[in-house]
Structure formats: C-alpha cells, structure tokens
Structure 1
Amino acid sequence: MLFAVPSFVWATGNSFGARSTVSPSLVKLAHDGVPWFVAVLVVTGFLKLFGALVGIVLTRPRSPRIRRLAVFCGAGAATLLTWHGGLFVVQGVLVKAGFASVEPELAGLTGWYLYLWGPWFVIGGLAFAGATALRVRDSDDRRELRRYGAVGVLGALGLSLGAMVTGMG
C-alpha cells in the first residue's frame, strides 16, 4: 500500500523523491500537471492499491470465484512486475558495462533503476508469483486455477506488448 503513495503525491504536482530517482521528463509532466499524465499517476496509484488487495486475497481462503480472480490477477501482476523490473536491471547492467548508452540527462538515474527500482519490481513480482503458486497448490481446483493463471500471464504479456508497440512502455 505504501508503494501507491508516491503515485498520488506526484499526481498533485509535488516531486518529493522523484527529482533524483525518476526521469526528468516524467517529473516535468507531473510538476506541470499535464492532465493525461496526472490521470496515469492516479490510475497507477489505484492499481497499486488493488495489487495490495490481490496480495491479501491470495493469502486467505475465499470462494472459488474470488480465488479464480485472485489467481488471474496475481499471475498477471507477477508477470508484469518481474518483466518490468527485469528490463530495468538488464538495461542498467548494459549501461554500466558500456554496452548501451542513455541520454546524458538520464545517466545519473541508471543506478537508481539498476539497484532500486528494478530489483524492487522483481521482488514484488516474485512475491506475487509465490503467493499465487501457494494459492493454486493449496486448492482443490488446481487445474482450473492454473488455466486462470495462464490467462493472467498471457494478458499481462499482451498489455506489455501493446504498451511497447504504442510507445507507452
């Protein structure tokens, strides 16, 4: 739930914690109150809160319908977070090793993405993967839940691909 706080703070135009850790172009969009970007930040904040709810639901027995939804969302979250963080880490390693470069104004952020943001997303993704796997393992309807998990993974990959194709990610 705490992970959602920066999104809401930045949506107000406050750049606390962002100036040295996030791309300057994103900080400027938030600071200038660009409506579409503020909306992205607010939606992101609510998605993070929803993720916390999914994490809680994955750890408690619920009705079959809620379990299916939790496994679908948990598998999707695991995929998106691990993929997103992994990209940060791989890019950071390539930049630090001299195999890739970034724009000069982003060079100072490479360490933040390599050592903080990337691992943080990967750890979150692995936590969702573990909670989802435990929910499936401890259920009588494992086969059905595995299908819901697979659809969640494919949906997350589809979202990621769509974001990349449209230039949003």
Structure 2
Amino acid sequence: MFAVPSFVWATGSTFGAQSTVSPSLVTLAQDRVPWFVAVLWATGFLKLFGALVGISLTRLRGGRAGRLTVLCGGAAATLLLWHGGLFVVHGLLVEAGTVSVARDLAALTGWYLYLWGPWFIAGGLAFATATALYVRRHDDRRGVRLYGAAGAFGALLLSLLSTVTGIG
C-alpha cells in the first residue's frame, strides 16, 4: 500500500498530493519532469523491495541470505526513523515559530508533523523490531548484528549526505 502513491504520481496523476505534499514536488510530477518521474518509479520499487525485506524478516534464514536480510532491515529502520524524525522535528519547529516556511508550505506543516512523520517513524519502529526479533532467533547473533549495524550506519550516512546536499 505504501508504494501505491509513488506509482500513481509517477504515471502523471497527482491524486492525494495536492493538499498533502510540497507544491514544488506536485509541480514536478504534473510537468512530468523526467528525472523526477524516474525518482518516483524508483521510490515505488524500493518500497516494494522494503515489503519483501519485511516479509523476509519473518522467515529465519542462515548464511548470506540471513545477513543480507538483517543488513536491509537495519537500513530500512534507520531510513524510515530518520526521515520521519526530520518531518516531526521540522514541523514542531514551524509550529513553535522557531522556523518559518513559505506561505504555500505552511498549510502542509500539519500533514508532515501529524501524518507523514509519524507514519515513517511507525514504519521504522516496525522494521527495527522485526530486525531485532530476527537477530534474536538467529544462531549467529553476533555476526548478523554486525550486518544490521552496517546497514543502519550506511543508511544514516546516505541520509545525512542527501540532507546536506539538499537532495533529501
């Protein structure tokens, strides 16, 4: 379900985006800007991949498959928690009057603070819990725990770089 909006917006529809997503992003989708359409498609497929990782975390596997599952679970948890946390913190700062935003973005603050941020945080907590439970059931706890940490660290580094460069 989480991937559906990305695919819908990638096809040119902005259903549901007009009042809940930044106007600049809606414009990119409406204008069918090629790089942004590609990002929407990639995002949709990454969300589907995330669903497969989530399902994999419910089935114990050994060897390389188990380590890769934990690596992806740790990365997903970190990306979702970071992304949602940024939405919530920014929303709180705007609501408190500490940070100002353009008039067209002010109406969206509530959506990011009360819907999108918590939604991403809930997903991150779900991945973190599933990954921790998977590691707890695994024979090589120490080994797979390192893969989870590597996934989390890599995801955090990627998120920080994208934030600093203005991409994310």
Cross-structure match for 2:72: 73
Residue 3 of structure 1 aligns to a residue in which SS?
A: coil
**Equivalent runs, 1:99-118 vs 2, <5 Å:** 99-118=98-117
1:36-85, Cα deviation, whole Å (9 max, x unpaired): 00000000000000000000000112232211111000000100100110
> How far apart, CA to CA, are the structure 1 residues paired with 2:68 and 2:22?
34
Cross-structure match for 2:40: 41
Displacement, 1:165?
2.9
> How far apart, CA to CA, are the structure 2 residues paired with 1:48 and 1:72?
16
1:86-122, Cα deviation, whole Å (9 max, x unpaired): 1100111111111111111100000000000000000
> How far apart, CA to CA, are the structure 2 residues paired with 1:166 and 1:120?
25
Taking structure 1 as the reference length, what is the TM-score of the superposition? 0.97
Aligned residue type for 1:156 = A
> How far apart, CA to CA, are the structure 1 residues paired with 2:156 and 2:85?
14
Equivalenced residue count is 168
Aligned residue type for 1:112 = W
> How far apart, CA to CA, are the structure 2 residues paired with 1:20 and 1:167?
23
Cross-structure match for 2:144: 145
**Equivalent runs, 1:153-164 vs 2, <5 Å:** 153-164=152-163
Residue 13 of structure 1 aligns to a residue in which SS?
A: coil
Cross-structure match for 1:57: 56
Quick check: 2:80–2:124 contact (8 Å CA) kept in 1? yes
Further displaced range: 131-140 or 62-71 = 62-71
Q: State yes or no: 1:133 paired with 2:132.
A: yes
Aligned residue type for 1:91 = H
Cross-structure match for 1:12: 11
Identity of aligned residues (%): 73
Cross-structure match for 1:94: 93
Cross-structure match for 1:21: 20
> How far apart, CA to CA, are the structure 2 residues paired with 1:107 and 1:74?
34
**Once superposed, what is the RMSD of the aligned Cα atoms?**
0.8
Taking structure 2 as the reference length, what is the TM-score of the superposition? 0.98
Displacement, 1:166?
2.3
List, as ranges, runs of 4+ consecutive aligned residues in structure 1 with deviation greater than 2 Å.
Answer: none
Query: For structure 2, which runs of at least 5 residues remain unmatched after alignment?
Result: none
Displacement, 1:151?
0.6
Query: For structure 1, which runs of at least 5 residues remain unmatched after alignment?
Result: none
> How far apart, CA to CA, are the structure 2 residues paired with 1:143 and 1:130?
17
> How far apart, CA to CA, are the structure 2 residues paired with 1:166 and 1:35?
20
Residue 2 of structure 2 aligns to a residue in which SS?
A: helix
